[in-house]
Amino acid sequence: MTTASTTHKNVLIIMSDEQSWDTLGCHGNPSQITPNLDVLASHGVSFDRCYTAYPLCCPARASLWTGLMPHATQVTGNWRSIREDLRDAGLASNFKQAGYHLIYTGKWHVPGTTPARFGYDDISAIPAVLEGRDRGRFIEEYRDYARAQGYVLHETHVENLTNADIAKLREPGKAPGGTSEIAEEHFLETWQTGKFLDALKRRPADKPFFAVCSYNAPHFPMIVPKPFDTLVDPKDVRLPGNFLSGTEGKPQEVLDSAYARKLQGVDEGEWRRFIALYLGLCAMIDKQVGRIVDYLKSNGLFEDTIVVFLSDHGDMMGAHGLVEKGFPLHYEEALRVPLIIANAPQTQAAAIGASSDALVSLIDLIPTLAEATGVRIAQTTDGRSFAQALANPQNVAHRDAVLAETFKLGVEENADIGGESVSLAHFRKGVDSINVSVRTKRWKYIFRYKDIEELYDVENDPLENVNLAGDPQHSATLSELKATMLNELRQTDRSAEAVRLIEDKLT
C-alpha–C-alpha distance, residues 247 and 382, integer Å = 34
Nearest to 218 by CA among 43, 80, 34: 34
List pLDDT tens digits, range 452-505: 999 999 999 999 999 999 999 999 999 999 999 999 999 998 888 999 999 999
Question: What is the model's pLDDT at position 241?
Answer: 96
Mean pLDDT, to the nearest integer, of 260-270? 97
pLDDT-based confidence at 3, cuts 50/70/90?
very low
CA-to-CA dists, residue 342 to 195, 293, 351, angstroms = 23, 11, 11
DSSP for 101-124, written as a single string: EEEEEE----TT--TTTTT-SEEE
Report the amino acid identity of residue 373: T
What whole-number distance in Å separates Cα of residue 72 and Cα of residue 93? Answer: 19
3-state secondary structure of 260: helix
Question: Which CATH class, in words, describes the domain spanning 10-399?
Answer: alpha beta
Q: What pLDDT, on a 0 to 100 scale, did the predictor assign at position 364?
A: 98
Arithmetic mean of pLDDT over the chain: 95
**CA separation for the pair 91, 211 (Å, rounded):** 13
DSSP sequence for 353-406:
TEEEEEEEEGGGHHHHHHHHHTBPP-S--S----HHHHHSTTT--BBS-EEEEE
What's the rounded mean pLDDT across residues 410-423?
86
Sign of the alpha-carbon torsion through 145, 149, 154, 155: positive
Quote the pLDDT of residue 53: 98
Q: How far apart are CA 419 and CA 78, in angstroms?
A: 9
The amino acid occupying position 195 is K
68 contacts 378 by C-beta, under 8 angstroms: no
Least confident stretch, 25-29, 76-80, 155-159, 342-346: 155-159
For residue 111, the cross-strand partners are none
What are residue 424's phi and psi, to 5 degrees? -70, -15
Per residue in 111-147, pLDDT (tens digit) is 999 999 999 999 999 999 888 888 889 999 999 999 9
Residues in the chain: 507
Whether 50 shows a pLDDT value over 70: the answer reads yes
| Residue 290: CB atoms within 10 Å | 17
Question: What is the C-alpha to C-alpha distance for residues 138 and 195, in angstroms, rounded to an integer?
Answer: 15
How wide is the angle at C-alpha 347 spanned by C-alphas 343 and 348, nearest 5°? 120
- Which residues lie across from 49 on neighbouring strands? 359
What's the pLDDT at 135? Answer: 86
62: nearest Cα among 143, 124, 118, 121: 118
Global pTM value: 0.96
Give 426 or 79, the one with higher predicted confidence: 79
Picking from 92, 21, 55, the residue whose alpha carbon sits closest to that of residue 312 is 55
* pLDDT at 266 > cutoff 90: yes
* Cα–Cα distance for residue pair 438/455, rounded to 1 Å: 10
Please choose, from the candidates 423, 342, 274, 259, the residue with its C-alpha nearest in 3D space to the C-alpha of residue 38. 342
Cis bond upstream, residue 218 (ω within 30): yes
pLDDT tens per residue across span 63-90: 999 999 999 999 999 999 999 999 999 9
Beta-sheet pairing, 209-214 with 177-179: unpaired
Q: Which long-range contacts (CB under 8 A, 24 or more apart) does 262-267 make?
A: 262/176, 262/323, 262/324, 263/175, 263/318, 263/321, 263/323, 264/321, 265/173, 266/173, 266/174, 266/175
pLDDT value of residue 13: 99
CA distance 168 to 171: 6
Widest pairwise Cα distance in the chain = 65
Q: What is the pLDDT of residues 163-174, one digit of tens each?
A: 999 999 999 999
Phi–psi pair at 447, nearest 5 degrees? -90, 130
Share of the chain above pLDDT 70, in %: 99
Q: What is the pLDDT of residues 307-335, one digit of tens each?
A: 999 999 999 999 999 999 999 999 999 99
The helix (H) or strand (E) run that includes residue 291 is helix 268-298
Q: What is the mean predicted confidence (pLDDT) over 216-239?
A: 98
Helix (H) or strand (E) holding 198: helix 188-201
pLDDT value at 5 more than 80: no
* pLDDT of 2 over the 70 cut: no
Measured distance CA(238)–CA(323) in Å, rounded: 16
pLDDT of residue 421: 83
| Overall average pLDDT of the 5-18 stretch | 85
Q: How confident is the model at residue 416 (pLDDT cuts 50, 70, 90)?
A: confident
